[in-house]
């Protein structure tokens, strides 16, 4: 990408990001799990909104709004009773109950402390996520396909393949601070975030020439993040919501909207 094209694309991405940084995007815009998460302060509840953030966006929001997040401070009997009829896609009722039970066992502030313990070693957010997943395993030995899909896994060889999209979305919400994102974890640098790569941002990134990799995986998430760092090294993920919305809306004139003439 030559310098003139790069500057033109940066300016148009900046404009699109600024336009999307509007409460109307959550109040009247297309469904998004952030519509539920933005009203929460408990990191455990916010994480649930992110982890269940897969599938049809309207169904995600409908399911999240059916949950009582105050159950995270309840005993096991109450959690089991109140969630006895809740399930979502790959997650059975027992899977939903078990993730609530696991998070209910976290001490006050323990989620952030556990994340920072991993992250601060080399300032890598994925190390912080692995630290949390490891801690979750200590808190709850329950295992099922649906539960493991929800929480995520640590690669045995240390080399991730999954883009960890839902985890990266959680971090975007908690670390960045603007009209949409919550900015609750100020100890983490925005510059260290990795874009929450989903099929929308993957396709838009390739359409705009920001992403060459053809495989939807961790390396693609890192590649797109590095490309966006050319435009804003201190906050590359600021463009995520705009790119996601363009893809979600199936914008067929992306090049006309964002590509310089």
Q: Is the pLDDT of residue 256 over 70?
A: no
For residues 44-57, average pLDDT: 97
Over residues 131-153, the pLDDT tens digits come to 999 999 999 999 999 999 999 99
Polymer length in residues for the chain: 261
pTM: 0.93
Q: What is the residue extent of each domain of the chain?
A: 3-258
User: Comparing 172-181, 224-233, 239-248, which segment has the lowest mean pLDDT?
Assistant: 239-248
Mean pLDDT of the chain, nearest integer: 93
The larger pLDDT score, comparing residue 255 to residue 109, is at 109
The DSSP symbol for 234 reads T
Give me the residue label for tokens 């694309």.
Answer: 9
pLDDT band at 260 (very low <50, low <70, confident <90, very high): very low
Q: If residue 228 lies in a helix (H) or strand (E), which one and from where to where? A: helix 218-229
Over residues 66-98, the pLDDT tens digits come to 999 999 999 999 999 999 999 999 999 999 999
**Residue 70: C-alpha distances to residues 98, 151, 153 (Å):** 15, 20, 26
pLDDT band at 27 (very low <50, low <70, confident <90, very high): confident
pLDDT of residue 226: 98
Over residues 182-196, the pLDDT tens digits come to 999 999 999 999 999
User: In whole angstroms, what is the distance from residue 214 CA to residue 206 CA?
Assistant: 8
For residues 245-250, average pLDDT: 83
For residues 110-119, average pLDDT: 98
pLDDT of residue 251: 60
pLDDT of residue 1: 56
pLDDT of residue 5: 52
Q: Are 170 and 133 in contact (CB under 8 A)?
A: no
Over residues 28-42, the pLDDT tens digits come to 888 999 999 999 999
């Amino acid at each position: 990408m030559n310098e003139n094209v790069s500057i033109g694309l940066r300016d148009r991405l900046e404009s699109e990001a600024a336009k999307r940084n509007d409460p109307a995007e959550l109040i009247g815009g297309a469904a998004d799990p952030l519509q539920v998460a933005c009203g929460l302060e408990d990191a455990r509840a916010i994480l649930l909104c992110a982890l269940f953030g897969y599938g049809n966006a309207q169904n995600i929001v409908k399911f999240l709004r059916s949950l009582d997040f105050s159950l995270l401070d309840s005993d096991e009997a109450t959690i089991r009773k109140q969630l006895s009829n809740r399930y979502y896609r790959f997650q059975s009722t027992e899977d939903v109950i078990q993730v609530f039970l696991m998070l209910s066992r976290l001490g006050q502030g323990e989620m952030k402390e556990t994340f920072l313990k991993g992250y601060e070693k080399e300032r890598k957010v994925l190390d912080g996520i692995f630290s949390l997943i490891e801690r979750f395993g200590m808190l709850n030995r329950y295992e099922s396909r649906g539960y493991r899909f929800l929480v995520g896994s640590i690669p045995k060889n240390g080399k991730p393949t999954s883009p960890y999209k839902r985890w990266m979305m959680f971090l975007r919400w908690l670390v960045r601070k603007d009209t949409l994102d919550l900015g609750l974890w100020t100890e983490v640098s925005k510059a260290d975030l990795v874009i929450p790569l989903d099929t929308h941002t993957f396709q838009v990134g390739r359409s705009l020439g920001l992403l060459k990799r053809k495989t939807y995986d961790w390396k693609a998430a890192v590649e797109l993040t590095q490309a966006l760092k050319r435009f804003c090294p201190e906050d590359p993920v600021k463009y995520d919501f705009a790119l996601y919305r363009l893809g979600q809306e199936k914008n067929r004139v992306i090049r006309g909207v964002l590509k310089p003439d």
